[in-house]
Structure 1
Amino acid sequence: MGAQQKHKNYYEGPKVIVTWALGHLLGLKMPEDLKKEWQTWQMETLPMIPHNLGIKPLPKTGHQLKAIKQLANRNDVSEVVIATDAGREGELVARWILEYVHFSKPVKRLWISSQTDKAIKEGFRNLKPAKQYDDLYQSALARAKADWLVGLNVTRALTVKYQDSLSAGRVQTPTLALVRKQEKQIEQFRPQTYFTIQLEAQNQKTTMRQKNPYSFKDRDKVEAFVKELSKKNGKVTDIQEKIKVEPAPLPYDLTEIQREANQRYNFSAKKTLSLVQSLYEIHKIVTYPRTDSKYLTADMKATMKERLQAVSDFSPEVKTYLKNGAVVKQTKVFQDSKVTDHHALLPTEKAARYEKLDNDEQKIYQMIVQRFIGLFAAPHKTQQTKATVAFGEEVFVFQQSQIIEAGWKKTEEGQKPIVKWQVGQSVAPNFSITKELTSPPKPLTEGTLLGLMEKHSLGTPATRAEIIEKLIKSELMERTASGLQVSQKGKQLLELVNPSLVTPELTEKWERDLEAIAKGRKSANTFIKEIEQETKRLVTEVKKSEQKYQDFSVTSKKCPDCGQNLREKNTRDGKIYVCTNQECSYRRRKDPKLSNHRCSQCHKKMEIIEGKNGAFFKCKFCSITEKIPDKKERKQKMTKHEERRLMKKYSQADEPEESPLAQALKAALENK
C-alpha cells in the first residue's frame, strides 16, 4: 500500500492511511445505559424492549477508537476501505466504527479470503461499493440485538425470581444441556453381562457377527449353541480384496485443533486458542487462528514451497519433498468456495525459533506443521482382504491388511504375513467363549463438546472456547478429571429455564434466518420483531413458572455480623464465604491462604489466619504462630543474599590464631 511511516495507531503513505480495530471497539449499550429504571434488577421492568439499542465504546480499546475518529475527520481523507474479515462479524466491527465516528464520505469494501500479497493486491484492484454488503451488516446487527434481547431478559428474569445469579442464553444454555444429556445417559446406564463367540483359524481370531451383539446373556445357552455349531466344519464362502487409499488429513481449523489438543494434552479450548494466538501474534509462525475452514484458496499454491522451506528442519521427509519440487499431493485442499472468512491453519513463511517457544507452544506448532507437511506426502495405501467363513447360517469374517505404501503415515514395523484363503476351503470348528461387560458412555470432554457445538451450530470457532469458560465461571459447569460435569446449580437452571432455550433447535433456526437476511431473502426488522415477541413469551413463562429452586451454595454456617447463613462462592483466589444478607458485607476465605513464609521448626509454608486482632501466620503441622510483619518491619528484615554476605564476612578471621601447643614451642625456642 506504500504506507511506510509508522505511527502508534496507524501507518501512513502518500495516498493511504492504514489503521486497525482490536477486535470489537464498540458494543451494544447495556440496559442501565438506556433507562434509569433498568439500572435495578426487578421483575416489574421486564421484558426490556428498547426502541433503539445504540452502541458505546468498549473501555479497554478507547484509545484506538479515538485515533480512528481523528483520522476519519482529516480533510485529506476522501474515502474509507473496509478491510476487516470477510464475514458477518468483520462487517459489524467496521460498520459500528464508521457509525460511531459519523463517517459520511464514500465507503468501499475489500473482500478477500486469502492474505497473500497477490490476493491483497488483486482485492484492492477490485474494490466493491460497501452498499453491496448492507445485508451482511443487517444480519450481524440482528444477531447481536437478538442475543441482547433474549440473553439479558431471561437472565434477569431467572436471577430476580430465584434470588441467585442464573445466566441463560440461546447458545450457552443448549451447550450446557448437551453435557447434561450425556450425564443422564451415564446415570441411566446399567451394566449387562453378555457372551461372544470367537473362531480361531490360520493363527487369526475373529468374533461371530450378530445383528444384536448382546443377544447371548446366558452361559448355558451359549455353550449349547457352540456345541451345536461345532458338529460340522465351516467353509470359506467369499473372499474380497481391495486397495484402500487414505490421503493425509486436511490442515486444521480452530475447532479441530482444540478438540485434538484436548484429547492429546488435556488442554482446554481456551488454552489452545491462546497458544495458537501467541504463535500467530507474537512469534508470527502460523496463520490466523480463528478459522472455520480446512481449505486453502487457489492463489496460495505459489506460497506453499516457501512455507515448506520454513519448516525444512522439522523432519527428514521435508527435505525430500523440497528436492521433489514441493509438489502438493493433496490437491483437493485448494477450494476457493470452501474458504469463508479465513483459510485453514498453516505455518507461515517465517522459520520458527524453537528456543523462544515454551513447551506447550511447541506442541501446538508441531501439530499444525505435521498436518501441513502431510499435504506433500503420498497417500497411505494398504491391501485389505476379507474372508467370510460360514458355519451354517452363522458368519465369521477374517480381516487382514498389508501396507503397500506407507505414504504420510509412519512405517509400521513387524507386519504379519498375509494369510492365503480359498473359496470352498474347510475350516475346523475351533471356538471359544468370552464373557463381556457393557461399558457406560463416557462424560463429554471439551474436545467432544466442541464437536457437538459445531454440529448444532452453537457459537463460532472464535466464541466456543469463551462459551465453555463462561459456563464454568458462572458455576453452571465444572471441569473434573474424567470430563465436564453439570453442577447442581446448572441442573436446576436447565429445569427452570424455558424449554425452547434448552434445545439447539432455536439457535439452528436463528442461524437459518440470519443467513436468509445476509442473502437479502428476509428483512432484519421482521426477524427482530419475531425475537421481541419470543422474548416477551420467554419472560412471561419465567414469571408464571411454579418451579422451586434450592441454592446449594448456601451453607449452615452463620454470619458472625448478622446471623444469616453464609454462601460458598468460587473466586479466582479460591473459595470464599459471603453473607446471604444483601445488606451485610461480611466475607471470608473458606480455607486459609497459603503464604510463602516458612515455619521456623518444620520449614513448611505457613497459612495466613484471619483472627479477631488481625491476620497472623500459623503452621498447620506444628501449630506454631507468628506475627505478620508490617511494611516497615519487612524492609528492615535482612534478605538471604545480605545474610550470606555478612556470614561470609564475619566467619573469616583477620589472622589465623596459633594453637596453645604452637605457642609453647615458640616460647621454648626463644628461651634457648
Structure 2
Amino acid sequence: MKKLFIAEKPSVAAEFAKALKVPTGRKNGYLEGDNIIVTWCVGHLITMSYPEKYDEKFKRWSLDTLPFLPKEFKYEVIDGVKTQFDTVSKLLNREDVDTIYICTDSGREGEYIYRLVDMMAGVKNKVRKRVWIDSQTEEEIRRGIKDAKDWSYYDNLSAAAFLRAKEDYLMGINFSRILTLKYSRNVANFLKLDRAVLSVGRVMTCVVGMVVNREREIRNFVKTPFYKVLAKFENQGMFIDGEWKVNEKSKYFNSPMLYKDNGFREKIYAQKLIEHVEEIANENGREMAVLSNEKKKEVKNPPLLFNLAEAQNECSKRFKISPDETLKIIQELYEKKLVTYPRTDARVLSSAVAKEIDKNIRGLCKFPLLADFANDILNKGTYKNISKTKYVNDSQITDHYAIIPTGFGNMNSLGRLQMLIYELICRRFLAIFYPPAIYQKFAIKFGIGDEIFITNTKVCIERGFLDVLSPLKEDGDDDGDSQNPEYINMISSLRKGSKLRLDSLSIKEGETVPPKRYSSGSIILAMENAGQLIEDEELRSQIKGSGIGTSATRADILKKLFAIKYLALNKKTQIITPTLFGEIVYEVVNCSISQLLNPELTASWEKGLTMVSNGDISSDEYMTKLERFVGIRCLNVKQLNNQYSLNAVFEKISKEYKGMKG
C-alpha cells in the first residue's frame, strides 16, 4: 500500500519529494516512488458557488431575494484548475493508497484548502494525518511527518476555516447587493458613471473606515502656533542647550498666554521673556546656577522577534514596499529554506524550538555579514538561557512561532531586496541573544533669577544588542551616542550650585501637528490591534485579542482596496489616502450598516473564529449569530428611505477632492 502526500503548491511538494527521496520525474500533476506519491494543489482548487447556482432567480439582483442565507452551501471546482483537481481526486481515492498526509500550509487557510478538496473528492476509508511544520528544511519536514497527528485533531480549526469563508461570503454577497440596489443610482449619478457596484466586506469596509476617519481628523485639525525660548550655556569650553519652562515663581506662572508649560501662544511674549532673562543675566555677569542634576539609567531590551505584521510595517518604513510585496518576499525566503513560516501572529519562540536554537545560530555562521555575531553568541553560550526570557512563551503561540532564520539555505540566489529583508530578519533574531543597551539620562535644571531652564540629555554607555542592529539604524537607538567622553564627563560633573555662563537666548517657532496618515505598514499594525495604531513596541506586545483579518489575509485585503479604487497608495512614500469613491462608499455604509465600520466589532468576529478553533463555542452557535446579524441588517436597509439626503453629503465630500470625481 502507498502513502499519499498532498502539498499546497508544486514548489512545496518538490521539497517533500526531496525529503522523502521520491524520484523527481514529474507525471501529470504528481510524483511517484515505490511506496510514496506526492501531489499538490495550486492554492485553492475549490470555491463557494455564487447564488445563481442555487437557483437561477438569484442571478438577477433584487431586494426581494435578500437576505440570501442558504442552509446548505454549494461548492465547485475553480475554472482553470479542473485538470489538477481531477488528478488529486483520483489519487486521494486510489485503492492502493491507505494513508493521506495533509501537507498544505500549516494554518487555518491551508486547512481549508485541503478539507474542501477532500469533501469534493468524496474521500472515504482512508487514514488522514496532518503534517504541521514551521520551515521547509529537510529536518523539519521529516519531523513534521514523524509527529503528524490524525486530521481529526484539527477539526475545530477546520470548522473555523469554513465559518470564516461563509462569513465573508454572506456579508459580501448580501451587503454588496443590498447597498448596490439601494444606493448605486445615487453614487453613479453623482460620479457621472454608467453604473456603480458597491463592494462591501467584513474586513475591507472596516479598513476603509479607519482610513477615512483618519483623513477627516487631519482635515478638521486646527494648527496652533507656539514659541519656545531656548538657551545655550557654556561650561569648560563646551555648550549645553536648555529650554525654558514655567515654574511657580516665574513672572509668567498661570499666564493666559502660555502654550502648555514651556512656550507662548504669541511671539511677542517669548521676546519679552528673553529681554527679562537678559536683564537678570547682565546684572550678575551672565552667570547661572545648576539647581539639580537628576541621573537615571535606562535599560532598553532587544525588540521582540518579527511576526508578519511587524515585518510588513518595518519593510514599509525602511524599504517603502507594500505589505503584499513583503509577504511575497518572505514567502520566497521560506521556500528557499532561509526563514520559518511567514504567516504568523506570534513574536516569540516555543520552548521546544528554544532547546535547539543553537542550530539556527550555527546556520548564520555561514552568512559572512553576520558570522561574527553568530560565533560570538555560540562562544559565550548566551543562547542557553533564552527559554527563561520573554522571547520564549508557549502561551503566546497559536499556529506558529515568530519568523526567524533557519540559516541553512542558499543565499547566493537572493536578489537585493530579498537579501535586505533576510538580513533584517537575521539581525532581529540575533539581537535577542545580546544584552540590553544601557543609557544614562540626565535631567538638569538651571536657574537664572526666578526663571528655570531644563536640559534632558541621553547618552548610550553600553551598546549591547545595538551592535547587531546598528546598520539598520533603529529609531532612537543612537540617541546621544555621538556625544564624546569629555562631554559626558562634563555633564556628569554638574552638581547643585555649579556655575555656568549664559551664552545666548533664542526663539524656536513651532506648531501643533495633525495625526499621521496611515502607511501601508502602520495600517497592518492597526489592523492587528483592532484599529488601534500602537506605536510603542512594548505596549504592542502586551495587547491581547484578535485583530481585524489575519496575518495571512491583511495584505490581500489592502491590495483589493487599491484595485477597486476605494483607497489610494503613494508607492514612493507608501502613504494611504481615501479616494472620493471610497469616501462615498463610507457614507453609504455609515447611513445603512454602520457596524461594518467599527474595528472593535469587526475584531470580535475574528475573536469568535478563534473561539471556534479553541473549541470554546460551537459552529452552530457562531452560524446562528452570523445569520441573525446579516438578516437583521438586510431588513433594516430595506426599510430605509435616505437615498436623496445623501446627495448633499456627497457634494460636501467632493469639495475635499477639488472637483475631481473618481
Q: How does the TM-score come out when normalised to structure 1?
A: 0.73
Alpha-carbon shift at residue 427 of structure 1 (Å)? 5.6
Residues 214-613 of structure 1 correspond to what in structure 2 (within 5 A)?
Answer: 216-225=264-273, 231=280, 236-281=290-335, 283-297=336-350, 298-299=352-353, 300-311=356-367, 313-315=368-370, 317-318=372-373, 320-321=375-376, 324=379, 328=383, 331=386, 332=389, 333-354=391-412, 356-389=413-446, 396-405=454-463, 407-410=467-470, 414-416=482-484, 417-418=487-488, 419=491, 420-426=493-499, 431-456=505-530, 457-480=547-570, 483-497=575-589, 498-543=593-638, 544-548=640-644
Q: Is the 8 A contact 1:3 1:11 kept in 2?
A: no
| Compared CA separation, residues 280 and 103, structure 1 to 2 (3 A) | same
SS where residue 461 of structure 1 aligns? coil
SS where residue 440 of structure 2 aligns? strand
Structure 1 match to 2:119:
99
Measured in 2, the distance between the counterparts of 1:239 and 1:330 equals: 38
Q: Deviations over 1:577-630 (max 9, x none)?
A: xxxxxxxxxxxxxxxxxxxxxxxxxxxxxxxxxxxxxxxxxxxxxxxxxxxxxx
Structure 1, 107-116 or 168-177: larger mean CA deviation = 107-116
Measured in 2, the distance between the counterparts of 1:132 and 1:448 equals: 36
| Compared CA separation, residues 129 and 315, structure 1 to 2 (3 A) | closer
User: 2:93 matched to 1:73?
Assistant: yes
Output the amino acid matched with 2:269. K
SS where residue 98 of structure 2 aligns? coil
Q: Deviations over 1:367-406 (max 9, x none)?
A: 2333344345454333333334467585624323143345
SS where residue 97 of structure 2 aligns? coil
Alpha-carbon shift at residue 318 of structure 1 (Å)? 4.2
Measured in 2, the distance between the counterparts of 1:51 and 1:70 equals: 29
Structure 2 match to 1:594:
none
Structure 1 match to 2:22:
4
Q: Is the 8 A contact 2:242 2:453 kept in 1?
A: no
Measured in 2, the distance between the counterparts of 1:214 and 1:485 equals: 34
Alpha-carbon shift at residue 500 of structure 1 (Å)? 0.6
Measured in 2, the distance between the counterparts of 1:386 and 1:350 equals: 48
| Compared CA separation, residues 404 and 512, structure 1 to 2 (3 A) | closer
Structure 2 match to 1:150:
171
| Compared CA separation, residues 137 and 48, structure 1 to 2 (3 A) | same
Measured in 1, the distance between the counterparts of 2:261 and 2:64 equals: 59
C-alpha root-mean-square deviation of aligned residues, in Å? Answer: 3.5
Alpha-carbon shift at residue 308 of structure 1 (Å)? 0.7
| Compared CA separation, residues 528 and 246, structure 1 to 2 (3 A) | same
SS where residue 59 of structure 1 aligns? coil
Measured in 1, the distance between the counterparts of 2:422 and 2:415 equals: 11
Q: Deviations over 1:39-70 (max 9, x none)?
A: 12222222211121122222343333322211
Q: Is the 8 A contact 1:81 1:109 kept in 2?
A: yes
SS where residue 42 of structure 2 aligns? coil
Measured in 2, the distance between the counterparts of 1:113 and 1:288 equals: 5
Q: Is the 8 A contact 1:245 1:380 kept in 2?
A: yes
SS where residue 454 of structure 2 aligns? strand
Structure 2 match to 1:618:
none
| More contact order relative to length (CA 8 Å, sep ≥ 6) | 2
Measured in 2, the distance between the counterparts of 1:83 and 1:274 equals: 20
| Compared CA separation, residues 345 and 212, structure 1 to 2 (3 A) | same
Measured in 1, the distance between the counterparts of 2:143 and 2:343 equals: 24
Q: Is the 8 A contact 1:4 1:12 kept in 2?
A: yes
Structure 2 match to 1:184:
216
Measured in 1, the distance between the counterparts of 2:298 and 2:500 equals: 27
Output the amino acid matched with 1:184. R
Choose the corresponding residue for 1:32, options 49, 52, 56: 52
Structure 1, 408-417 or 77-86: larger mean CA deviation = 408-417
SS where residue 207 of structure 1 aligns? strand
Output the amino acid matched with 2:372. E
Q: Is the 8 A contact 2:333 2:422 kept in 1?
A: yes
Measured in 2, the distance between the counterparts of 1:88 and 1:166 equals: 29
Structure 2 match to 1:168:
200
Measured in 2, the distance between the counterparts of 1:72 and 1:209 equals: 76
Output the amino acid matched with 1:287. T
Output the amino acid matched with 1:324. N
Output the amino acid matched with 1:186. I
SS where residue 387 of structure 1 aligns? strand
Which structure is higher in helix share? 2
Measured in 1, the distance between the counterparts of 2:315 and 2:143 equals: 36
Output the amino acid matched with 2:158. Y
| Compared CA separation, residues 363 and 404, structure 1 to 2 (3 A) | closer
Q: Is the 8 A contact 1:179 1:484 kept in 2?
A: yes
| Compared CA separation, residues 509 and 62, structure 1 to 2 (3 A) | same
Structure 2 match to 1:557:
none
Measured in 1, the distance between the counterparts of 2:497 and 2:178 equals: 74
Alpha-carbon shift at residue 458 of structure 1 (Å)? 1.6
Q: Is the 8 A contact 1:183 1:443 kept in 2?
A: yes
Alpha-carbon shift at residue 353 of structure 1 (Å)? 4.5
Measured in 2, the distance between the counterparts of 1:170 and 1:209 equals: 49
| Compared CA separation, residues 315 and 221, structure 1 to 2 (3 A) | same
Measured in 1, the distance between the counterparts of 2:509 and 2:134 equals: 56
Alpha-carbon shift at residue 176 of structure 1 (Å)? 0.8
Alpha-carbon shift at residue 188 of structure 1 (Å)? 1.0
Measured in 2, the distance between the counterparts of 1:238 and 1:19 equals: 73
Structure 1, 463-472 or 421-430: larger mean CA deviation = 421-430
| Compared CA separation, residues 403 and 525, structure 1 to 2 (3 A) | same
Q: Is the 8 A contact 1:87 1:340 kept in 2?
A: no
Q: Is the 8 A contact 1:91 1:140 kept in 2?
A: yes
The number of residue pairs the alignment matches comes to 553
Q: Deviations over 1:120-171 (max 9, x none)?
A: 5555555444333322222222221111111111111122231411111110
Q: Please list every run of 5 or more consecutive structure 2 residues that lacks an aligned counterpart in the other structure.
A: 1-18, 186-195, 247-258, 282-286, 472-477, 531-546, 651-659
Measured in 1, the distance between the counterparts of 2:403 and 2:426 equals: 9
SS where residue 201 of structure 2 aligns? coil
Q: How does the TM-score come out when normalised to structure 2?
A: 0.74
Output the amino acid matched with 1:415. Q
Give the percent of matched residue pairs that are identical in Structure 1 and Structure 2: 28
Measured in 2, the distance between the counterparts of 1:366 and 1:272 equals: 13
Choose the corresponding residue for 2:228, options 178, 190, 196: 196
Q: Is the 8 A contact 1:280 1:287 kept in 2?
A: yes
Output the amino acid matched with 2:243. T
Alpha-carbon shift at residue 184 of structure 1 (Å)? 0.7
Q: Is the 8 A contact 1:91 1:136 kept in 2?
A: yes
Q: Is the 8 A contact 2:160 2:613 kept in 1?
A: yes
